[in-house]
Amino acid sequence: MKRTALACTILIALHTVLFASAFPPASYSEYTLENGTTVFVLEDFSSATIHIEYAVKAGISSQNKDTTGFFTLYSRLFKYAAPENSAGLPALSAECNADSSRYRMTVSPAQFSSAMTYLSKAAFNPVFTDNSLSAELSSLKAEVQQQAQFPSTFINSGIDSRVFSAAPWKHDSGVYPAIFTRTTVEQARSILRGISQNWYTPQNSAVFITGSIKKQDALKAAKETFGAYREASFSEHIIPVKAGGEKHKFVLVSKDFSSEITQAVVQFTSLSMTQCDISAAAYNADGSSVKKLLLKQRNLAIRDGEYIHAAAAHKSGSSRLIFQTIMEKPVNKKVTLADQAELLISKIKEGVKNTGSDEYAAAKKTLSESFSAVTSNPVSYMDYLSQFWATEQLNGNGTQGSTLLSERMENRPRDVTAEKIRSIQQPVDSEQPFVFILLNDDIYRKNRQSFKKLGYEEITVKNSAWYTREFSSAEEEPADGQDYEAEEEQPDFISRNRNSIKTFTLENGIPVTVKNTSSTSNVLILAAIDGGTLYSPRTNGFEKVMTNAFASNVQKEINKYRINQVLESEPEVLSETFASYSAITVECAKEDAAICLKCISDALIFGEIAPAEADSYVYTVQTQKRLYNASAVNQLYHRAVRFLYEDEAYRAAFDSENDILQDTQYADILAAYPQFLDASLYSLVIVGNIDEDYLKEPLKNTFGLLSKKKEGGVLHLPKTPDFPENRSISVKLRHLFYTDVKAEDAGPMPAILVPTTNFSDPVQYWLKAPSPDSSDAVLFDALVWRLSEILEENADSVCSGIKIAPRTCEVQGAAVTFLTADRNSKVFELFEKSAAELLERLSGSSAEEEVQAVKNSWILNTLQKTAENRGTAILIRNGGKNPAQYLDDYQTVMQASEEEYRLCAEAFIPKTAPLRLYSADAKK
């Protein structure tokens, strides 16, 4: 097991004269501001820059059951917390560790004052906008969902939840998906506010400054920024988490484990931090007494010393000495795997007893040398000082010997030197360690009785983590789109969500879909305007200009009510144009829903567009199009569409060659805006904690006032692509490079230009999709997403990543793009291998497991956004006349048999993609 970053904290204790010899005492000072913030300054005028770190004693160990994951979310949002002060500053490095969160930045002396203002505001007066909170929350939700599927998550959560059974949520593996993923943006903000008020306090905070600045100047800046905030009336503190539990012996069982070997993890928890690090260094050394003894045991069947590893881990005031090894089957067939595990424990203890004083002396020397190396410069010195500051109290080091933190840190080698051999060996000899044996499920079934007889408890995926055990008996309903126990919960998910969808039609023919989502306090209104990039009669890009103008007018109407303080919330207005429609979305508090409907209606009926506004809308869309054209991926996609479709509307919609809106006049925009006053263009989707009956009257008085100018709205006639059997196309890509540096600031052109044709361009493969009316269509989608995962697994150095453009109603094909691919032939081999592997998995003994992986992939990539009102609304709108289409698709995906998936893969996932596009500059 790898030692974590904080596990290295002990190294701080192992150099006795560093402060005196490396850094003159006059260059270093420690201060405590009036509000309790501690400031550490180390002058270093050999450096041209200044390194600043803000650290707070708030990390993963601060979590409780209901806040798992939110301290990590907080650290990700920190960089956004003072947006008005971050302009022009370098990127901020943020990390959330077990016992602290750390935020670091290296700046020039001229940036120092601004950086201190930015960090102090982010620390003590944070502002988390809806956009940043929603984006980071969604990102972290997706990561939690993905990590829940990894074998490493099963192993870590299974171990941590037993070793730290009193509070397993205070560890990295303790994120509870069933709670975390159903949290709305508003609930998340409330939790984050509590973290800010109770944990990110001056008393819990420290600032570390080193570089080209005088101590007096650093202190002055600290007082004016971090010292400008009051001391918190209440401040939480991390409570050390101690190991414990009635059971100490376990077997982790999984199909993913090899049937040829047995992995073992043995953890001792009674040693101190110093004892753990000395022990780990001694026992892990090549030729140590422990390794020699273990390798002699024929029935342990350990091949080599490299298969034995000893390490120390320190978190939340708890230290562990951890042994890991890999064993093969015992030589003596009468020795069971359970007997082998017991033999391992006894021989580890015997090896510890046999370890001599020379081995411990060598270990102490190794630790001292390591500490000297990592604290050889001011930045790394302050880095370790920060870690020591965060963990000193938790690990019981106290404040003995000196009032200066730096001296206490440097004086700790005396503890290492004074440590007696017997004080290390005796706890190991008397302790009943935690033992975890990792076995393949087939192997375990054959040895179950022998393990039970010796007191081992079985751990599976279903009971591994604390949250899976609680979730199985929890009464809360899972959030939309979550599928933790698919077989049991899937029907309930479908029926519950289907029952929450209501539809009705206004008198003017506008269809309305309302989905009641009780888990959120907000309401999202989506006004869909028929047409989009594909079916709009106007020039490419014009529909985006008009949609942006419409959204801007909605925002103006909302601002009128905000100025008069009528609204309960700050509604968020967004616009987006898809292939077949454009969408205006407004998300607000449910109390403001009627007012926001009126704002949309008034913007539509009374909205005006000034000439300067029209110019800005056109310029924005033109800029977006130029960036779109510059993408090599988009250029390949456009070339594929030109090959597959003869229809000019398709070719124009996905064009990546031409500039747009060159001849657009202000009069064109003024003339087009009234065309929005046509009921036949609209459909409405409303998602949130609101009843459809409440909405009928406001809808009647807003969108109900529109008249229908033509029957049928915009005609949608999706074309069928003409896929080849086997075709490669070479595309001459345009390599365009953009910069945000203004022309006047760019300076002269270089005297010599060095031409190159060595571009690592993308490669794009297209797969023909089934008919959209076929049940195979959604199975195809799921298989493509799963194929992308297998491609990623097999990619190695062939490409930097895989990007999927999934099948849509308008484009009946899926594009698989290999980013920055080096050689076309390697991409061809990668796809051939991965497609064959997918079919093999679906056809072999692991078919059941692979089908579940296909389902999981579809859920994560398609239903991930159902936790948000906007994502759900777009899914409903994309269903067209069937607002529950995404639920029907979900049911199809979950209920399809192994044979149906296999047959679909055989028909639509060939080993050779029918259409392949390469860069003309790429290597063969």
Average model confidence (pLDDT) across the chain: 84
Sign of the C-alpha dihedral, residues 93, 94, 97, 101? Answer: positive
Instruction: Check residue 407 and give its pLDDT.
Output: 80
- DSSP labels for 689-720? S--HHHHHHHHHTTGGG---SSTT-S---PPP
Task: Name the band, by pLDDT with cuts 50, 70 and 90, for residue 376.
Answer: low
Q: Please give the average per-residue pLDDT across 161-171, as a whole number.
A: 75
* pLDDT surpassing 80 at residue 9: no
First-to-last CA distance in the chain? 42
**Of the candidate ranges 623-637, 750-764, 810-824, the one whose mean pLDDT is the lowest:** 750-764
The answer, yes or no, to whether residue 294 has pLDDT greater than 70, is yes
pLDDT band of 398, cuts 50, 70, 90? very low
Residue range 228-235: mean pLDDT, rounded: 88
- Please tell me the least confidently modeled range out of 159-163, 215-219, 346-350, 654-658: 159-163
d(CA 510, CA 524): 18
Degrees (nearest 5) of the Cα angle 278, 284, 288? 100
Q: Three-class SS of residue 677?
A: coil
**Candidate from 424-428, 542-546, 708-712, 805-809 with smallest mean pLDDT:** 708-712
User: Does residue 743 surpass a pLDDT of 60?
Assistant: no
Q: How confident is the model at residue 426 (pLDDT cuts 50, 70, 90)?
A: confident
User: Of 722, 853, 845, 844, nearest to 783 (Cα)?
Assistant: 853
**What is the structure's pLDDT at 211?**
86
Q: What is the token pair recorded at 400? A: 């003995």
Compute the average pLDDT of residues 295-304.
Answer: 93
Q: Is 247 left (phi over 0), alpha (psi -120 to 50) or beta?
A: beta
187, pLDDT greater than 80: yes
Give the number of other Cβ atoms within 10 Å of residue 748's Cβ: 5
Look at strands 38-43 and 457-459 and give their pairing: unpaired
Q: State mean pLDDT over 175-203.
A: 80
Better-predicted residue by pLDDT, 565 or 248 = 248
Smallest CA-to-CA distance from 272 within 322, 320, 324 is with 320
Answer yes or no: is pLDDT of 17 > 60: no
Ranking 164-173, 559-568, 572-581, 702-711 by mean pLDDT, the lowest is: 164-173
Look at 343 and 520; give whichever has higher pLDDT.
Answer: 343
Please say if the pLDDT value at position 470 is more than 60: no
pLDDT at 135: 87
- 771 secondary structure, DSSP code: P
42-85: pLDDT as tens digits: 988 877 788 999 999 998 888 887 788 889 999 999 999 988 87
pTM over 0.85: no
Determine how β-strand 434-440 pairs with β-strand 249-254: parallel
Mean pLDDT within 390-413 = 68
Single-letter amino acid, residue 372: S
For the chain, give the percent of residues with pLDDT over 70.
Answer: 86
Only one residue has tokens 């393990």, namely 451
Q: What is the pLDDT of residues 746-800, one digit of tens each?
A: 454 444 444 445 557 999 999 999 999 888 999 999 999 999 999 998 998 899 8
User: What is the pLDDT confidence band of residue 1, given thresholds at 50, 70 and 90?
Assistant: very low
Instruction: Average the pLDDT over 312-340 and give the result.
Output: 90
Distance between CA atoms of 122 and 76, rounded to whole angstroms?
Answer: 12
